[in-house]
Structure 1
Amino acid sequence: MNPWIVRALQLLAGAAFPMALAPFFWWPVGLLSLAIFSLGQMTASSGRSAFGRAWWFGLGQFSTGISWIYVSMHDHGGTPAWLAVPMVGVFAAFLATFPAGWFALRYRLLAQTLSWLTIPVFWFLQEWFRSWFMTGFPWLFAGDAHLSSWLAGWAPVIGSYGISFILVLTVTSVIMAVRARQPVWLLPLLLWPAGLGLQQLEWTSAKGELKVAAVQGNIPQDEKWLRESISPTITAYYQQTAQHWDADLVLWPETAVTILLDQFQPYIDDIGIEAQQTNTTIVTGIPYRYPRGVPLAGEFHNSVVAFGNGEGIYHKQRLVPFGEYVPLEHWIRGLLPFFNLDMSSFLKGQPDQPLLKVGHHSDGQEQLYLIAPYICYEIAYPDLVSEMARQADMLVTVSNDAWFGDSLGPKQHMALAQMRALETGRWLLRATNTGITALVDHKGQLLARLPYEQRGTLTGVAQMREGQTPYMRWGLLPLYILSGLAIVLALLLKRRRLTATWVGH
């Protein structure tokens, strides 16, 4: 086949890939997309062709899947359209080098030995690598499309990474069955009904309830940081909160308050007294500044703080490049308005921070629950979420997705939060400035949400859960072991074949 036709097919298959994810969830499209990708790798004749085919697929995948970045760059970052479009394209081309590099390595090491098994392995490895390299971009994972399919049962066992592995194994097995005309190759498809069976299991158990409320302020992004908006914003959040003093937990979004924590302290003192009287804990996103007299004086964190009938402060650990910090800051700040956005120079929070504490008062008894908080992008990281969730009774996440308008971004972000709830067997409450504000149960199902770009408060009763899912306990260890064994077996088979060929000559 003409090489350019092959590249075009890979590009189109990659461009269709995000249709399997939120908000469409057309996961059969994802299977077809992965089938075209896998077939391209199975027929590659060199490391160079393997790299090229994976790169074209990745270019299509990321060009459509992260197109929402354009909104933040152009609509809110001041970058002209003629420059924002190619910048998104350059970012997509860069991300495409990750799968391309891993599949080129696969061919160099293994050629087409056990391709039906090693292609799923290297798909997992490239997703895993992308989740942490250069702070990571754990977005557009194949497994995230399966919140509601039979494979959802595997999420608490092997996470979304494991579901991705099963998906690619599904298509490579079908390809081998068609090629060999032997039904035995279809045995991996039994993993699908097995997932349905796993859905019937309860990995965690209930230990109590909290009455919760999540406030969606719907402050326009172009007004949010204006000085004259500070007082009206605080008033709006207080007024909405005051209607729900019967709640145990009231959650405000990321940077709901656009002044620093030390500047907001007088409000905390006043509102906190009222919250304590009603046994309510308020958790809000707010920037934190180190005070004078300490080594980090004047430096900032993107943070959440709990006050009222609870306590705690958390500093964000996983920062968004160019949004919360600027790589190579000394060289590129000032080149474009996008590199000079407000609050784009945060420090990274330390690991092992204490969880937030929320009190629950009932029948004269005070019960203390631990809440694991995640700020915006952090909810996309399976490892971070599962690690913090081990001691947590519930998850909360705050975000300001107004940067991306009514695009694919906020919908994908919400689905990632649902997958984290499913992986950890924990309920999750999410508050955003403009949407999507929602309550999710421990099965990853969306129980309630507020309309997009409307001011309102979501209320509900969240179940506290205890215990650990297999994924929380073992993480990626099973996939590491499986991947290592598959690669070693393929290397041995390749060596044996080469030896047999050499002896035959």
Structure 2
Amino acid sequence: MKPAVRLAAAGAAGLLAVAGFAPLGLFPLPLLSLATLLWLTDRCAPRAAALTGFVFGLGWFLGGVSWVHVSLHDFGGMPMIISLLATFLFCVYLSFFPAVACAAQCWLRPGRVLYAPLFAGLWALTEWLRGTLLTGFPWLASGYAHAPPSPLAGYVPVFGVHGAGWVAALIAALLAAAALQRMTWRPAIVSLVALLAGGALLGAIRWTEPTGRTLTVSLLQGNVPQSLKWVPERLPDSMQTYLDLARTWPADLVVLPETAIPLPYDEIDPDWLADVRRTGRDVLMGAITIGRDGDGAARYFNSAVALGRDDARYSKSHLVAFGEFTPPLFAWTLSLLSIPMSDFGRGAAVQPPLDLAGEKVAVNICYEDVFGEELIAAARDATLLVNVSNTAWFGDSLAQPQHLQIAQLRALEMGRPMLRATNTGMTAAIGADGRVIAALPPFQRAGLRVELSGHQGLTPFMRWGNVPVVIGALLLIGAAMVRRKASR
């Protein structure tokens, strides 16, 4: 195959994989895309394989996370040319990880037995690294395509999203190995059936159980346009919007989204806070708070506050680079962006659940729910997970349905319901089985009231996190290196 044809096919395969994630959710497509990538790189030199994997990544990420440009240009005020360049370079960085996986597969030259397991391990390890290095960006990790009803969803409570990605990559590699005649179709099909059956059997297990208590929860979606959210003249309308929604949708627990009112919490009218507080047994609101960081300096924090209870609040720990903090050596970017409140303090890495409406609530804010392993500590003692977000930064893009799908995987990993209150969408309640109980249409001003029970107990993933995935991948790489040395 000519190099140009191979690279064009790799880019198309990467772009096709995006349809496997929300909103389309055609979960078999990423499997076929990965199988195509392996077929394209078979018997390539490591450098050619790396370039093919890199182009696959460009198609995947340019198609899947192009909404980064929306936040930088449409709402961050960055000039279009610079914003497009920054988005492209970001996707270039992300594409290095599939490039490494493909190059390593070809360099190690695994035999028939190790061929499929090694690629699965390499793929899972590089995705884990992508979600870890430089604060991490695990968005569109392969496992996220396998929210219910995917038969691979059963692996998520056991091995997490990267474990599901490992199994998905193994299925893709088995298909490629059979097509390339590295193994016969009969053992490949038997292995595929076993993997799918394993997912179905694991999916039938309920790792956690309801507490036996039920409560009503109202999730409020104010639909305040991002372009108007921080306009001072718009403040009274925003406050009236959320007060009206809270009065219309009272519940045991009422949840308002991230930075629902664009003022420091201590500056919000106490009478308004008292009025909203009376609409629920407890009210949790995303708010800007003022506190002190580890050095004792006064800082703003992106927080969630239980109204009327100063002792019940959570401050965001995993901040978004350039949106909530500026990485070292990048202070010059501030002159290109006009993002309000873009220098937050960092909350403690581990914060206990909040006692709200008779439940233990583990709170996370916006982007934090992308990092499953970081939520384990608080979720162990929690019965509910609550996420407050403002994805208006990304407009009407793939970001919102993708974020909802990510939350489904978090609910599965932790075996607990996940409640999402957002400004413009997707506001939703997700069951402990990862299925969406109810969701509001995006870009509508509304409330969502559901009745549910908290859950208790530990999933296997909560006990060991990503350790089995990382160790398993390293062991496979070690075995392949030993074999390569022996064959030479």
Aligned residue number for residue 502 of structure 1: none
- Number of residue equivalences: 481
Cα deviation digits, residues 79-117 of structure 1 (max 9, x gap):
333333232112111111122234434544x23443322
State the partner residue of 1:362.
none
Partner of 2:49: 50
1:170 to 2:171 alignment: yes
Hey, what does 1:444 align to over in structure 2?
434
After superposition, the C-alpha distances for 1:377-435 in whole angstroms (9 at most, x for unaligned) are 01111112233211110001011111111110111011101111111111111111111
Asked if residue 213 in structure 1 is aligned to residue 203 in structure 2, the reply is no
**Residue identity in the other structure for 1:230:** L
Q: Indicate the residue corresponding to 1:251 in structure 2.
A: 255
Which runs of 5 or more residues in structure 1 are unaligned?
A: 360-367, 499-505
Structure 1 match to 2:350: 352
Contact preservation (8 Å) 1:56, 1:96: yes
Look up the match of 2:86. Answer: 87
Over 3 Å counting, the alpha-carbon distance change for 1:291 and 1:66 in structure 2 is closer
What is aligned with 2:11?
11
1:90-101 map, 5 Å: 90-101=89-100
Question: Secondary structure of the equivalent of 2:204?
Answer: coil
Structure 1 residues 485 and 298: CA distance shift in structure 2, 3 A: closer
Distance apart, 1:199 and its partner CA: 1.7
Residue aligned with 1:370, SS:
strand
| Alignment deviations for residues 103-139 of structure 1 (CA, whole Å, 9 cap, x no partner) | 434544x234433221111100111001111111010
User: Are residues 430 and 157 of structure 1, via their aligned partners in 2, closer, same or farther at CA, if it must alter by over 3 Å?
Assistant: same
* Matches of 1:101 and 1:197, distance apart in 2: 33
Task: Tell me the distance in 2 between the aligned counterparts of 1:267 and 1:260.
Answer: 15
- Look up the match of 2:232: 227
- Aligned partner of 1:184: which letter? P
* Secondary structure at the counterpart of residue 290 of structure 1: strand
What amino acid does structure 1 have at the position aligned with 2:394?
F
Mapped to 2, the partners of 1:333 and 1:45 lie a distance apart of 39
Classify the secondary structure of the residue corresponding to 1:326: coil
Deviation, structure 1 residue 309? 7.6
Are 1:433 and 2:423 an aligned pair? Answer: yes
- Post-superposition offset of 1:308: 4.4
Report the 3-state secondary structure (helix = DSSP H, G, I; strand = E; otherwise coil) of the residue aligned with 2:453.
Answer: strand
Determine the structure 2 residue equivalent to 1:478. 468
Secondary structure of the structure 1 residue equivalent to 2:214:
strand
CA distance 1:172–1:268, shift in 2 (3 Å): same
Residue 73 (structure 1) aligns with:
72
Tell me if 1:417 matches 2:407: yes
Q: Distance in 2 between matches of 1:158 and 1:13?
A: 27
Paired letter, 1:355: P
| RMSD value, Cα | 2.1
Does 2:444 correspond to 1:454? yes
Q: Which whole-Å CA distance do the structure 1 matches of 2:271 and 2:289 have between them?
A: 15
Contact 1:310 1:357 in 2 (8 A): no
Secondary structure class of the residue paired with 2:470 = helix
Residue type matched to 1:402 in 2? A
Secondary structure at the counterpart of residue 173 of structure 2? helix
The answer for the alignment partner of 1:363 in structure 2 is none
- For 1:26, the equivalent position in structure 2 comes to 26
Question: What TM-score do you get using the length of structure 1 for normalisation?
Answer: 0.90
2:363 corresponds to which residue? 373
Question: Which residue does 1:501 correspond to in 2?
Answer: none
Residue of structure 2 equivalent to 1:152? 153
Classify 1:182/1:76 alpha carbon distance in 2 versus 1 (closer, same or farther; 3 Å).
closer
Q: Distance in 2 between matches of 1:74 and 1:215?
A: 27
Distance 2:311 2:271 in 1: 15
Equivalent-residue separation in structure 1 for 2:269 and 2:38 (angstroms): 56
Q: CA contact under 8 A between 1:152 and 1:195: conserved in structure 2?
A: yes
Provide Cα deviations, 1:300-327, integer angstroms capped at 9, x if missing partner: 1111111348951111111111111122
Amino acid at match of 2:230: W
Q: How many Å separate the matches in 2 of 1:296 and 1:402? A: 33
What displacement does 1:5 show?
Answer: 1.3
Structure 2's unaligned 5+ residue stretches are none
Q: Which has the larger radius of gyration?
A: 1
**SS of residue in 2 equivalent to 1:167:** helix
In structure 2, C-alpha distance between the alignment counterparts of 1:369 and 1:310, rounded to whole Å: 18
Task: Give TM-score, length-normalised by structure 2.
Answer: 0.93
